[in-house]
Amino acid sequence: MPVVSASLLAWREAVQHMPADIQHFHDALLDVVCLDIYEPAKVLVSLSKINKFLLSSDTNDQNISWRQLSAFFFCGDSKYLDSPVRRALLLSLLPQLENRILERPLQLSVFLVSGAKAILLVENWDTFLGLIKHKSPGNFHILYTAGFKASAKNVRQATSVHFFYSGDFSSIHSFESFWFNPKSNCFDIYFLGDLDYSGLEILNKLSVSFPDIKAWQQGYGPMLVAVSSGYGHSASQTNKERQKISSNVACDYARETLLPALDETRLMLDQEWLLDI
């Protein structure tokens, strides 16, 4: 006899007695195994409530985020629908849901300075704060990328980004005029990240939205000297073995200098090492 899990059997039993308004989902739900964290009957009731929400004339103009949908219909658990598998299942059962989801804008922190000539994108929070504290570099707006977040494909769309500003607020207009106009070239743009493959991959992905972006040599230079002299950590010491980098690195300095240094020394260095830039 094939082994069938107790949770799957409980789920199938619940499906046989699911709310009447979602009976037409019977066959599609019968072998679902990704919705068994909560009691099966509660999950089915939640599906029924979502179905009624989508059909109700009182809410048919109301959009809702995935986190709000999850918290409201799944026991107050805002992260239940973070799973791509669960989202895909809901959208397959209720395709009209796709037009009701309110996508959350990217949240990016920016420090503005008066008379800036360039924008420096910084991978990690401590380094971002350190650059602000020491007012260096003085002619750069500084933006915290939060790892790969700022490399999202929609990062230059006004409806997809929400900036949190500090510094010189009178510079907001000129900053946004550049940011939301992909053809604008009024600012040079640079990136400073960890000296590892993942950091260079962030730079590579940023180049999709910012074709002229370059690795910031003033920041990478000291790190390059350090790894070349034997200071740094290996991939195995820091669980970075799975880091990958595209062979087609957009920035000349990154491709011709930084990447060969990583390959040759087998050492990496996180940007928080830079205490004084």
Give this prediction's pTM. 0.77
pLDDT in the model for residue 238: 82
Residue-wise pLDDT for 149-185, tens only, equals: 999 999 999 989 999 999 999 999 999 999 999 888 8
Report the pLDDT value the prediction gives residue 7, as an integer from 0 to 100.
Answer: 79
Give the residue carrying structure tokens 């949240």: 107
Separation of alpha carbons 42 and 48, rounded Å: 10
User: Between the CA of residue 33 and those of 4, 9, 140, 219, 266, what are the distances in Å?
Assistant: 11, 10, 51, 49, 43
SS3 29: helix
Per-residue pLDDT at 235:
85
Q: Any idea which residue has 């008379």 for tokens?
A: 115
Element spanning 109, H or E:
strand 106-112
Q: What is the pLDDT of residue 262?
A: 93
Domain chopping of the chain, boundaries: 6-100, 106-273
Structure confidence at residue 37 (pLDDT): 67
At residue 121, the pLDDT reads 98
Q: Report how far residue 108's alpha carbon sits from residue 146's, in angstroms, rounded to the nearest whole number.
A: 8
Confidence at residue 276, expressed as pLDDT on a 0 to 100 scale: 73
Residue 10 pLDDT: 85
Residues of the chain with pLDDT under 50: none
Residue 242's Cα: distance from chain center in Å?
A: 18
- Residue-level pLDDT at 267: 94
